[in-house]
Copies of this chain bind each other. A is one copy, B any other.
Amino acid sequence: MAGGTRELTVDLGERSYPIYIGTGLISRTGQYFTEHGFPVKSPILLVTDNSVVDLYAEKVEESLARAGYKVTTAVVPSGETSKSLEMLDELVGAALEAGLDRKSTVIALGGGVVGDLAGFVAASYMRGVRFVQIPTTILAHDSSVGGKVAVNHRLAKNIIGAFHQPDFVLYDIDTLASLSMREVRAGLSEVIKHGLIWNKEFVAWCDTNSEKLLALDPEALGYALYEGCKVKSIVVSRDERENDLRAILNLGHTIGHALEAVAGYGELVHGEAIAIGMVGSARLAAKFGYSGDIAVETERLFRKFGLPVRIPASCPTDEIMNAMLHDKKFAEGNMVFIVPTAIGSVEIRNDVPTEWVTDIVDGLREGNEHP
């Protein structure tokens, strides 16, 4: 399409789909719909949140209208609480009132919350309609690949959901300009994660280009999102339903999720929590006999990107351990960790002694700079 637009295919057989990464893309949303053969007769539901709607919804709506599509916009409150069955109910009501049929499309315009919620609407409305993602955060480069969509339950996050692949993803780098610096850093944490699990050259490239990335240089950012999506796409295409390999994407997430659960609201965002978790996993590698350099390098890299690498003093070790032992990912009661074996490769371990984990959590505590 436009000069400089990168295209990546997520290879999932008949559910394969392209990700377009570039600038100025949302103003061409309608063209993409036309090129993908979406019928103009079937109405579209555009789902977005109240922090994004004023910035980008009009451009998307106008572009779709120019191409002949009828679009209805539904705005949900920003934040995790919108990932609820109540909101699903409301959006299905909006879809019905807008006349969406089985050939219709649900668009997610926003970050991970909007993607997860609108994705589950698309997965379940009439047992599944078309889905298009227009991510507006760096972090969403992760959630836009792989088709995992869900809402939360009072007792657990992401527990009600589906695997529902989008028809395509429109990644407009221009939309990232409205992110706060903290969101940029946290988003890059997931980008770097993809390097750490699969591609050491890309890790080295991120290291060299940290300044450009933090300054949102479009060319550097486009390349980094492309490479990040590519790693995730390779992993997902080999294990769509998360039976085995896909678990490696959880590098840093065992400790990270526990930190998110224990830390007070706003103290740690997802990308920050997993940065600390990745340092923890790298230290675990040393316990398994892999090089101690992995932890040193990992920590240096995250520091360079301005990301936290220590557990806040407000999170007690016993609460963190408790949260980990209740993580739903532990089928049949084993603690599972993704452990780096070198920069750019990992292995899945379910033989991690609890004492090692306690030890590492203690060592990562703020104030324990020299454990």
Contacts and interface: CB of A to CB of B under 8 A. Distances in A.
Interface of A: 39, 41-42, 85-86, 88-89, 92-93, 96-97, 101-103, 123-128, 148, 150, 153-156, 159-163, 241-242, 328, 330-333
Given A127-B150, A148-B127, A96 B332 contact: no
A332 B101 contact: yes
Contacts of A241: 128
A101 B102 CA distance: 32
B103 A154 contact: no
Contact of A101 (B85, B126, B150, B331): B331
A160 B128 contact: no
Contact of A88 (B39, B85, B154, B155): B85
Given A92-B160, A101-B328, 8 more contacts: A41-B332, A41-B333, A85-B88, A96-B159, A123-B162, A126-B328, A127-B150, A127-B163
Contact of A162 (B127, B148, B332): B127
Nearest to A124: B160
A331 B103 contact: yes
A161 B156 CA distance: 21
A324 B282 CA distance: 62
Contacts of A330: 101
A39 B156 CA distance: 23
A214 to B, nearest CB: 34
Contacts of A148: 127
B159 A128 contact: no
Given A124-B124, A150-B127, A332 B39 contact: yes
A163 B72 CA distance: 26
Q: What DSSP secondary structure best describes chain A's contact surface?
A: mixed
A103 B332 contact: yes
Contacts of A102: 331
A294 to B, nearest CB: 30
A147 to B, nearest CB: 9
A88 to B, nearest CB: 7
B96 A161 contact: no
A198 to B, nearest CB: 23
Contacts of A127: 148, 150, 161-163, 242
B85 A89 contact: yes
Contact of A153 (B92, B153, B160): B92
A38 to B, nearest CB: 13
Contacts of A103: 331-332
A159 B42 contact: no
Contacts of A154: 89, 93
Contacts of A123: 162
Nearest to A123: B162
A43 to B, nearest CB: 11
B331 A96 contact: no
Top 4 A-B pairs ranked by shortest CB distance? Answer: A127-B161, A96-B155, A85-B85, A124-B160
Nearest to A88: B85
B93 A124 contact: no
A93 B332 contact: no
